[in-house]
Amino acid sequence: MALTFYWYPNCGTCKKAKKWLDDNKVDYTSIHIVEEPPSKEKLLDLIEKSDLPAKKFFNTSGKKYREQNIKDKISNATTEEMAMILSSDGMLIKRPIVTDGQKVTVGFKEETFNENWLRK
């Protein structure tokens, strides 16, 4: 089954992840996370399947995160409210996000990709 790879082409981490996927001949469909940000419902699904807290889906080093003071907005927000904020702007989402429909990884660590996305 092909993976879904949410990425931003200008992002260095995304480029490393894409190179890893290509080098390991992993089949994937790429989605430009800024032009086509995942819906609130899709994000809720990704958050649930990732076993990560919703806060881990925020691009905390991003300019918009700081400009919009998202840290304060999400300090007491529910997962649903966080998904709503994330779906409003792809630049707020930590990337890349990779999923096979069951598992989800956020960001790029070679070890995590080896564990989750290498065909055995």
Instruction: Give pLDDT, residue 120.
Output: 61
Total domain count, the chain: 1
CA dist 119 → 61, 113, 114, 115 (Å):
32, 11, 9, 9
Q: Which domain holds residue 16?
A: 3-117
Instruction: Give pLDDT, residue 104.
Output: 98
Give me the phi and psi of 4, to 5 degrees please.
-105, 125
Characterize the bridge pairing of strands 3-7 and 28-32. Answer: parallel
Instruction: Give pLDDT, residue 27.
Output: 96
Per-residue pLDDT of the chain (120 residues; tens, 9 = 90+): 699 999 999 999 999 999 999 999 999 999 999 999 999 999 999 999 999 999 999 999 999 999 999 999 999 999 999 999 999 999 999 999 999 999 999 999 999 999 999 976
Instruction: Give pLDDT, residue 116.
Output: 96
Nearest-angstrom CA–CA distance, 38 and 46: 9
CA dist 25 → 18, 60, 120 (Å):
10, 31, 13
Domain with residue 41: its CATH number is: 3.40.30.10
State pTM to two decimals. 0.95
